[in-house]
Structure 1
Amino acid sequence: MFYSFTGKDANEVWSKATSELMSEQNITTPSRSGNNIELLHALIHIEDPTQRWTTNRVPPISIGFALAELIWILFGSKDAKVINYWNPSLPRFSGISDQYHGAYGYRIRHNFQIDQLERAYLTLKNNTDSRQVVISIWDPKIDSPDNQGQPVNQDIPCNICSLLKVRNNKLEWTQIMRSNDILLGLPYNLIQFTSLQEVIAGWLDVDIGSYTHYSDSLHLYCRDLEKVGISNDLKILNKDSLFLGKEECFYNVNEIYKRMMKIAYNDNISEDELYEISELDSNSSAYRNIMYIITLYVADRKGFKLLSERILKKCTNELFVFLWRNWKGEK
């Protein structure tokens, strides 16, 4: 079978794919993590990748974790302590370790002794028509199963590679995945790689084209069948833009990640310190809003109620505010 889901935004394609998958509940497939329902060979196509947020996912996505993970990826980190702060349950899925084996950002920027984001940028800047830009994540030397067919690590990357092309002055992006959990993975994968698409389009100063996402196994574990649902599609648009020049982009990414490290490695951070951390000195409202939501998560986790309210009022992205309140159950 082959499945195809096309839509204007992430909400539309996620809803279509989830509805199709849920209709297959009577057909289960075994796996090492339990039985699941599965769509083999699923193609997802998003016309406007800037509308990357699945606001209609039930349960709601964690906006704090999603944005922290995006910065963690862009920085090229594999530091488990940092990203675990924004998702304490992550070790249950990726294993207990100081460094995550399959960290996408590290794979993209360091694993192959080359910064693949930089090489992709330089290639497309100097040869716009190139068909050879492939950003590799899968490393067969360290990711392939052992001779008995068993995983060599708990954190084996689900993403294989990204294919980038510029056509009609637009950056087109194709993402290839070997395995994709429609509840726990897909909404975040769409955020991760459409964001990378917008970031590199900014470096190249070209428009953002469409986003195509191939999942060879799009699935949902049977234990999660009662958890997943589709809420009404609210038309709140993402108006923030990650479209910046390369130097300005990395100034923001590096500064935010430095502050994330300060938070993750300081258990006794005060309200005053956290408020100071939340104020990013940047001309980009998009990155300022990212910093606000990342620190809002921390303030909420520490029980700094007044500070949480203060930071939330500073965020100018209406969609981020909605997603935060939705996650907190404040609708």
Structure 2
Amino acid sequence: MFRVFEGRTANEVWRKVAIAFRSGEGAVQSSRAGQTREILHSAMSISDPTQRWATSRQPPINIAFAIAEIVWIIIGRNDSAFLNYFNRQLHKYAGHGDTYHGAYGHRFRYHLGIDQLERAYQVLKAKPDSRQVVLQIWDGRSDLPDSSGKEASTDIPCNIVSILKVRGGKLEWMQILRSNDVYRGLPYNLVQFTTLQEIVAGWLGLELGEYNQISNSLHVYEKDLEYISGPSSDQRAINVDSLAFPKEESDEYFNELAHNIETIIDQRVTAKELVSMVRESNLTQSFRNMLAILCAEGARRRLQQDVINNIMNECTNPVYNYLYECWLLRLGINRILRPNNI
């Protein structure tokens, strides 16, 4: 039977999952990385995918990394340096090479010799009632273990397929995962694929439908169990930005943001230049808000904490401000948010 978790927001669903595990649900299951508690065959449903942030997770998520990963995926990249700058621990889980084997965006746009996102857009534009728009991430040729059980890579994709349907003028999204780590994976997975849903809906000029997800192995490593509960987040920490734009505009914005990230990770660029980058950006506000988070983190990593406020004062999205404030507090850095940006 399915274990179902439903809510309006990702945070509501996250809290229900966390409560289930903290209440003792799940069977003990060994794995290559340690013992877990596992719920088999879980299903999740989020009725408002724009509210995609698990704000109750403690410690808080790395929002700059999450935003950089969105850009990395939609552009179709698989280079490790782009992401490693924002998450210095990533290589421990995904490998030490110049590229990541299971990069979702690269799988969507290049790996199979076809740009699946582009084709999905074309098909649903021409035939909205199609039931054949399935985006493949898993590739048995590259991902199945060998006959002895040896893994093909340290970075085998946990997300294996996305299924898109248009119903009632809304884009419905179904995501299927073979394996889903509640602490390290789930909060980021919800951000990744609800964002893709919103982007593609914008390309098609559609409203957002529900986001649904099947996690065949929903699990928590026992060493992480203490981290999956947290206090309720500030109810004012909502996402007010839309990333739904016509395809030409959307592509332009994401390409520019990717170029900005290349500048941010270049250590020759000064923190003062990062402030100017945000203030002088011609990006629309929702993308400028993402840029502000990325530049603030770039300033922090340059040990120029005094300019973080100058950058973050340009950010108007309450949930971004809240999550970045939580991230700084996690790192022992105090920053006072403006009341209207909480």
Q: Could you say whether these structures have the same fold, taking a TM-score greater than 0.5 normalized by the shorter chain as the test? A: yes
CA distance in 2 between partners of 1:207 and 1:27 (Å): 39
On the 8 A contact 1:279/1:291 being kept in 2, the answer is: no
Cα distance change, pair 280–115 in 1 and its aligned pair in 2 (3 A): farther
- Cα shift readout 1:174-193 (whole Å, capped 9, x = no counterpart): 00000000011000000000
Instruction: Decide which moves more: 241-250 or 219-228.
Output: 219-228
On the 8 A contact 2:137/2:160 being kept in 1, the answer is: yes
CA distance in 2 between partners of 1:180 and 1:309 (Å): 35
Alignment of structure 1 residues 272-283 onto 2, 5 Å: 272-279=272-279, 281-283=281-283
On the 8 A contact 2:39/2:219 being kept in 1, the answer is: yes
With normalisation by structure 1, the TM-score equals 0.96
On the 8 A contact 2:28/2:37 being kept in 1, the answer is: yes
On the 8 A contact 1:164/1:174 being kept in 2, the answer is: yes
- Cα shift readout 1:157-197 (whole Å, capped 9, x = no counterpart): 00001000000000000000000000110000000000000
2:251 equivalent in structure 1: 250
- Cα shift readout 1:26-52 (whole Å, capped 9, x = no counterpart): 841100000000110000000000000
Q: Kindly state the Cα deviation for residue 25 of structure 1 after the two structures are TM-superposed.
A: 6.5
1:288 equivalent in structure 2: 288
Does residue 328 of the first structure (1) align with residue 296 of the second (2)? no
Identical positions, percent: 44
1:67 equivalent in structure 2: 67
Cα distance change, pair 25–126 in 1 and its aligned pair in 2 (3 A): closer
Alignment of structure 1 residues 104-183 onto 2, 5 Å: 104-183=104-183
CA distance in 2 between partners of 1:71 and 1:278 (Å): 17
Q: Kindly state the Cα deviation for residue 258 of structure 1 after the two structures are TM-superposed.
A: 1.3
Give the CA RMSD over aligned residues.
Answer: 1.4
SS at match of 1:164: strand
CA distance in 2 between partners of 1:262 and 1:134 (Å): 35
SS at match of 1:17: helix
CA distance in 2 between partners of 1:190 and 1:294 (Å): 20
Runs (5+) with no aligned partner, structure 1: none
On the 8 A contact 2:241/2:286 being kept in 1, the answer is: yes
Instruction: Decide which moves more: 178-187 or 219-228.
Output: 219-228
Q: Kindly state the Cα deviation for residue 280 of structure 1 after the two structures are TM-superposed.
A: 6.2
- Cα shift readout 1:183-220 (whole Å, capped 9, x = no counterpart): 11000000000000000100100110000011000101
1:200 equivalent in structure 2: 200
Query: How many residue pairs get matched?
Result: 330
Q: Kindly state the Cα deviation for residue 259 of structure 1 after the two structures are TM-superposed.
A: 1.8
2:303 equivalent in structure 1: 303
- Cα shift readout 1:287-326 (whole Å, capped 9, x = no counterpart): 1101110111111111112221100111011111011001
2:31 equivalent in structure 1: 31
Cα distance change, pair 145–280 in 1 and its aligned pair in 2 (3 A): farther
CA distance in 1 between partners of 2:198 and 2:89 (Å): 29
1:52 equivalent in structure 2: 52
Q: Kindly state the Cα deviation for residue 225 of structure 1 after the two structures are TM-superposed.
A: 1.8
Q: Kindly state the Cα deviation for residue 268 of structure 1 after the two structures are TM-superposed.
A: 2.5
On the 8 A contact 1:252/1:282 being kept in 2, the answer is: no
CA distance in 2 between partners of 1:177 and 1:27 (Å): 19
Instruction: Decide which moves more: 15-24 or 174-183.
Output: 15-24
Cα distance change, pair 251–17 in 1 and its aligned pair in 2 (3 A): same
SS at match of 1:28: strand
2:97 equivalent in structure 1: 97
CA distance in 1 between partners of 2:182 and 2:127 (Å): 36
- Cα shift readout 1:255-301 (whole Å, capped 9, x = no counterpart): 1111212333x223212322233346335211110111011111111
Runs (5+) with no aligned partner, structure 2: 337-342
On the 8 A contact 1:44/1:212 being kept in 2, the answer is: yes
On the 8 A contact 1:9/1:51 being kept in 2, the answer is: yes
Alignment of structure 1 residues 74-93 onto 2, 5 Å: 74-93=74-93
Q: Kindly state the Cα deviation for residue 23 of structure 1 after the two structures are TM-superposed.
A: 2.4
CA distance in 1 between partners of 2:86 and 2:279 (Å): 19
CA distance in 1 between partners of 2:281 and 2:270 (Å): 20
Q: Which amino acid aligns with 1:169?
A: G
